[in-house]
Amino acid sequence: MKKLTLFLLLISPCLLSAQFGFKAGLNFANVSKASSINNSSRTGFHAGLLMGSSKGVIGFRTELLFSRQGYDYKTGTNTGTVNLDYIMMPQSMSINITKYFSLMFGAQAAFLLNAKVDSAKSSGSGNGSTDKIMDLYNRFDYGFGAGVEIHPVGGLLIGAKMNISLGKLYKEAASGQMPSFSSVDIKNNLFQIFTGWRFGVKSKKKEN
């Protein structure tokens, strides 16, 4: 109990100065290192909560987001879509050029919740069970992201961000177990546009 009380006392100044909020927007998702397939981007969405603090030029942001992404593919024998649902946790540092404009960059981690493959013709994956499909994917993903954000009025935020994954989408499966439309080198790419609102933003009053 004493340790919990001490911890709360230590973090209370951070919580009191923190800005809480929410954001939501569109995903334009694709994959890189997929030379074996004719892949194209899929449009999805993301939504979630944010908490951050800002002291002058430098700020920090933690987010918890649900993100729907994936890609379309086409090979000589298969066409279809791959739908992927992630829980993402970006950690960003911001450089506040002015109170209206910020540059953001940092690291992120993601956990795969669900995967679904819709294929016109697939070797062992399109009609498989959800469990078997999930067995093909790495549940944990990681990478980095960078973007811009504007704050036109009050707590309103509008921005765009590019996320690059460093982890492989598929597991290192034995020969013959990989779906015919995939490659072990495929990695997620994600471009996001979003809007949201921050609570706790102090407005400067005009001095008389």
pLDDT, tens digit, for every residue of 151-201? Answer: 999 899 999 999 999 998 888 654 445 555 556 678 898 999 999 999 977
**Residues 123 and 180: beta-carbon distance below 8 Å:** yes
Least trusted range by pLDDT, from 44-48, 139-143, 166-170: 166-170
Parallel/antiparallel/unpaired status of strands 79-98 and 19-32: unpaired
Question: Would the pTM count as exceeding 0.85?
Answer: no
- Report the pLDDT averaged over residues 113-142: 71
**Which pair of structure tokens corresponds to residue 27?**
């995903």
Residue 125 clears pLDDT 60, i.e. is over it: no
| Residue 89 CA, distance from chain mean position | 7
Percent of the chain whose predicted confidence (pLDDT) is above 70:
71
Q: Report the pLDDT value the prediction gives residue 42, as an integer from 0 to 100.
A: 84
Q: Report the pLDDT value the prediction gives residue 49, as an integer from 0 to 100.
A: 96
**Residues 169 and 136: beta-carbon distance below 8 Å:** no
Choice between 157 and 40, residue whose per-residue pLDDT is larger: 157
Q: Report the pLDDT value the prediction gives residue 122, as an integer from 0 to 100.
A: 43
Among the residues of 100-195, which ranges form H helices? 130-134
**Which pair of structure tokens corresponds to residue 149?**
């954000």
The Cβ of residue 87 has, within 10 Å, a number of other Cβ atoms equal to 14
pLDDT, tens digit, for every residue of 66-88? Answer: 999 988 877 666 777 889 999 99
Q: Which residues pair with 136 in a beta bridge?
A: none
Distance of alpha carbon 85 from alpha carbon 67, whole angstroms: 6
Residue 128 clears pLDDT 50, i.e. is over it: no
